[in-house]
Structure formats: structure tokens, C-alpha cells
Amino acid sequence: MPDQLAASRMAGVIDNWRDFAVDVRSHTLHQVAGHAVAWWFDEIHASTREFMEALASDNRLVVPGAPDESELVTRFLLSTRPMGGTLGADAAIIREWIAADCPIPD
């Protein structure tokens, strides 16, 4: 059974950062599942659930069940990177979500 707490917490991270993340310049340069990260953060294009599904299926960024093998964690969430420094405690929630095999909210 999917870990709905991890799914809910990850959805909360995405929702909390939407307004800020959609305007981050680097989010126009990096992609998730064929679209710019900014595109996914814009609710006109994608729901939180759709963004989570895209992240979970983009094996270039996320290896479900293996946060330490996931570029989202090993590259982008480093404390020395802008995203890692900005997200702070939310990075633990992202790691938890990946470790739980990237569950999607019901």
C-alpha cells in the first residue's frame, strides 16, 4: 500500500513553493518529463498530482526507493546549490517521498 503520508507531505511541498518556483529562472532551463520545471509549477499546465507523477517517472532525476541515487537529491538538493539552500527542511520530505517509492496522493 502506498505511503499516503509521504505522498501528502510531498504534495504540500510542491503546493507551498508553486508561487515562488514558477518564476525561478533556472526552472525554465531544467526539465522534468519533457517540460520545463516552471511549466510543471504553473497550475495552468499541471496539477500537483501530475507533477508528482512526472517526477516519479523521470528516471533521469528520480530513482523511486533510492534517494541517494536520484539526481534531484544528489545534485539539486545539495546545501551548496540554490534549491538545496532554499528548501531547507523540505529536502527531508523530498528524500522521504523518494525513499517511499514516490507514492502519489489518492
> pLDDT tens across 65-81, in order?
999 999 888 887 766 66
Round the average pLDDT of the chain to a whole number and report it. Answer: 87
Q: What is the pLDDT of residues 20-66, one digit of tens each?
A: 888 878 887 889 999 999 999 999 999 999 999 999 999 989 999 99
The contacts found for 85-93 with CB under 8 angstroms, 24 or more apart, are 87/13, 87/17, 90/13, 90/16, 90/17, 93/6, 93/9, 93/10, 93/12, 93/13
Give the pTM: 0.89
Q: What is the pLDDT of residues 88-103, one digit of tens each?
A: 778 889 999 999 999 9
